[in-house]
């Protein structure tokens, strides 16, 4: 059993809560049922899975992300201020889907708490390795002293204003909070019926490991002075870094409503708009109409197809 009546203090030891991150945008218009739909989670999923999803829906959005309302349709979408990009998809969709799949496997396998703790530790270790490998592609921070910093990807040749280390730190933090929160909830619900192992040391160890990831991830970035690059390519070797494009200073633009391939990328739209846009996405051939007959208009408020970000 945990060493304190409120294990949240153990859960957060050495790790600032997500709500303590500075200048994060909070969900205001996020509908939980539509959130589940976007994650492909049934409302009949195990209660433990739904509880983790409910906690995830209440999390602040990652750094630089905010929710916006499309004035034309009333639909909710998401805007990244540094990238100057919009999306119908929740910015944490892939992360939360992975976590919910892992929690579902814990429940289906009927694991003991110590087994769940071992699985969580292995998951977080794997995520740290994945993040460190991806961050090694990035060079930065770049820019003149006193000016805005940016980062260069040595593999793609692209530069961004967003700190890739910050993005990964938040991702790891979300996974930690959801997975360890599930472990704590299971311990609480089981302690009244049977003797439980003491998880205090396990939780403290997990919190300490995640806290140490901050320095590990930061050190994974390649410092500009240490980047060699391709000797035959002056730009890739650092002689001339590609700066990101200037950001617009106006209001966020509405996102694209359709893509080139069927995908679950439309989020929190009224049902008739979801149906209409899904049909557009899945149709392999565009509808053809006689030259004398105009096609029927889309439902009122439906997003315009092909509108880009510029």
Task: List beta partners, residue 78.
Answer: 67, 87
Question: Using an 8 Å Cβ cutoff, are 79 and 250 in contact?
Answer: no
Query: Does some domain include residue 292?
Result: no
CA dist 254 and 19 (Å) reads 28
- Whether 261 maps to a domain, the answer reads no
Residue 305 included in any domain: no
Q: What range defines the domain where residue 135 resides?
A: 8-226
Q: What is the pLDDT of residue 9?
A: 43
Residue 288, domain member (yes or no): no
User: What pTM was estimated for this model as a whole?
Assistant: 0.71
* Distance between CA atoms of residues 302 and 274, nearest Å: 9
Separation CA 240–CA 307 (nearest Å): 33
What total of structural domains would you count in the chain? 1
- DSSP assignments along 56-96, one per residue: HHTSPPPTTEEEEE-TTT--EEEEETTTTEEESS-TTHHHH
- List pLDDT tens digits, range 65-81: 999 887 777 788 899 98
Across 269-297, average pLDDT:
49
Assess if residue 253 is contained within a domain.
Answer: no
Does 210 score more than 60 pLDDT?
Answer: yes
Is residue 259 in some structural domain?
Answer: no
Q: What does the pLDDT read at residue 73? A: 75
Whether the predicted pLDDT of 47 surpasses 70: yes
Mean pLDDT of all residues in the chain? Answer: 73
Q: What is the pLDDT of residue 208?
A: 67
């Amino acid at each position: 059993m945990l060493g304190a009546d409120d294990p949240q203090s153990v859960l957060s030891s050495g790790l600032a809560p997500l709500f303590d991150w500075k200048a994060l945008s909070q969900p205001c218009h996020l509908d939980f049922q539509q959130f589940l739909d976007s994650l492909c989670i049934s409302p009949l999923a195990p209660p433990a899975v739904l509880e983790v999803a409910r906690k995830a829906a209440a999390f602040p959005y990652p750094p630089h992300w905010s929710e916006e309302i499309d004035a034309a349709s009333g639909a909710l979408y998401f805007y990244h201020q540094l990238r100057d990009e919009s999306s119908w998809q929740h910015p944490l969709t892939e992360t939360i889907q992975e976590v919910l799949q892992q929690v579902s496997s814990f429940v289906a396998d009927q694991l003991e708490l110590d087994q769940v703790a071992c699985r969580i530790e292995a998951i977080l270790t794997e995520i740290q390795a994945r993040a460190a490998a991806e961050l090694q592609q990035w060079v930065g921070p770049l820019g003149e002293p006193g000016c805005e910093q940016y980062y260069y990807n040595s593999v793609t040749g692209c530069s961004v204003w967003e700190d890739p280390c910050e993005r990964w730190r938040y991702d790891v933090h979300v996974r930690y909070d959801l997975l360890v929160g599930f472990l704590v909830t299971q311990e609480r619900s089981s302690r009244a019926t049977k003797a439980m192992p003491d998880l205090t040391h396990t939780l403290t160890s997990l919190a300490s490991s995640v806290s140490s990831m901050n320095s590990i991830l930061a050190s994974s970035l390649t410092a500009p002075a240490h980047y060699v690059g391709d000797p035959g390519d002056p730009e890739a070797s650092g002689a001339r870094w590609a700066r990101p494009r200037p950001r617009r200073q106006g209001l966020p633009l509405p996102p694209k409503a359709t893509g080139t391939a069927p995908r679950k990328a439309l989020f929190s739209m009224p049902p008739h708009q979801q149906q209409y846009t899904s049909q557009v996405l899945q149709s392999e051939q565009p509808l053809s109409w006689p030259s004398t007959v105009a096609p029927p208009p889309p439902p009122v408020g439906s997003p315009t197809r092909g509108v880009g970000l510029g």
